Amino acid sequence: MRFCRLLMACLIPLLTLTGCWNRIELNQLGITTATGIDWDNGEWVVTFQEIVPSAMSAAAGGTTGGNIAQSPVHVFSTRAKTIREAVAVNDFEHSRWIYLAHNNVVVVGREAAKHGIGSILDAYFRNHDARQSTEIVVTDRDARLILEQLVPPERLPGDAIASILRKEDRSSSAIPAVSVFDAALMLTSETGTAMLPEISLSGEETERSKSLDAFKTSSQSSKLKLTRIAVFRGDTLAGWLSREEGLGVSWMSGKVKNTTFTFTCPSGEDESLLATYRSYKASAKVTPIRTRDGYSFRVKVKTSGELLNYGCMPDITRLGTVRAIEKQVEAKIREDVKNGWAAMQRLRADLAGLAGKVHRKYPRDWRKVKDTWNERLAEMEVDVQTDVKIRRQGLTANSFQRILK
Residues 294, 311 within the same domain: yes
DSSP string covering 333-367: HHHHHHHHHHHHHHHT---S-HHHHHHHH-HHHHH
130 and 173 assigned to the same domain: yes
> Comparing 303 with 209, which gets the higher pLDDT?
303
91-107: string of b/e by CB count within 10 Å (b at 16+)?
Answer: eeeeebebbbebbbbbb
Q: What share of the chain is helix, strand, coil (3-state, %, to 5)?
A: 40, 30, 30
Assess if residue 1 is contained within a domain. no
Which pLDDT does position 65 carry in this prediction? 46
The confidence score (pLDDT) of residue 331 equals: 92
The CATH code of the domain that includes 255 is 3.30.300.210
Indicate the average pLDDT of the chain. Answer: 85
- How far apart, in whole angstroms, are the C-alpha atoms of residue 285 and residue 200? 33
Q: What is the pLDDT of residue 64?
A: 47
Out of 139-148, 176-185, 198-207, 238-247, which region has the weakest mean confidence (pLDDT)?
198-207
Q: How many CB atoms lie within 10 A of CB 124?
A: 23
Q: Indicate if 226 and 265 belong to the same structural domain.
A: no
| Residue 172 backbone dihedrals phi, psi, to 5 degrees | -125, -40
User: Same domain for 186 and 262?
Assistant: no
Residues 382 and 262 in one domain: yes
Q: Are 201 and 149 in contact (CB under 8 A)?
A: yes
* Residue 216 pLDDT: 58
For residues 120 and 292, the model is more confident at 120
Q: Are residues 340 and 397 in the same domain?
A: yes
252 class by beta-carbon count within 10 Å (0-12 exposed, 13-18 middle, 19+ buried): buried
245, 340 contact by CB (below 8 A)? yes
333 pLDDT more than 90: yes
Mean pLDDT of the region 264-289: 84
Are 209 and 294 in the same domain?
Answer: no
Residue 86, domain member (yes or no) = yes
Instruction: Indicate whether 20 belongs to any domain.
Output: no
Residue 256: closest CA among 287, 277, 283, 228: 283
Residues 266 and 232 in one domain: no
Strand partners, 36: 47, 107
Residue 14: inside a domain, yes or no? no
300: in domain: yes
What is the domain range of residue 96? Answer: 25-56+69-241
Nearest to 370 by CA among 356, 380, 390: 356
> What pLDDT is stored for residue 219 in this prediction?
62
Q: Can you give the pLDDT at residue 18?
A: 65
Residues 38 and 174 in one domain: yes
- The mean per-residue pLDDT over the stretch 126-141 comes to 88
Do 46 and 189 sit in the same domain of this protein? yes
The reply to whether 362 falls in a domain is yes
Q: Please report whether residue 299 resides in a domain.
A: yes
Residues 217 and 293 in one domain: no
**Does pLDDT of 206 surpass 70?**
no
Domain final residue pick, 176, 208, 241:
241
Q: Which residues pair with 302 in a beta bridge?
A: 283, 387
More confident residue, 22 or 48: 48
Q: Is residue 8, in this structure, part of any structural domain at all?
A: no
Last residue within a domain, chosen from 187, 208, 241:
241
Q: How many domains, the chain?
A: 2
Domain end position, chosen among 198, 226, 241: 241
pLDDT band at 214 (very low <50, low <70, confident <90, very high): low
If asked whether residues 212 and 299 sit together in one domain, one would say no
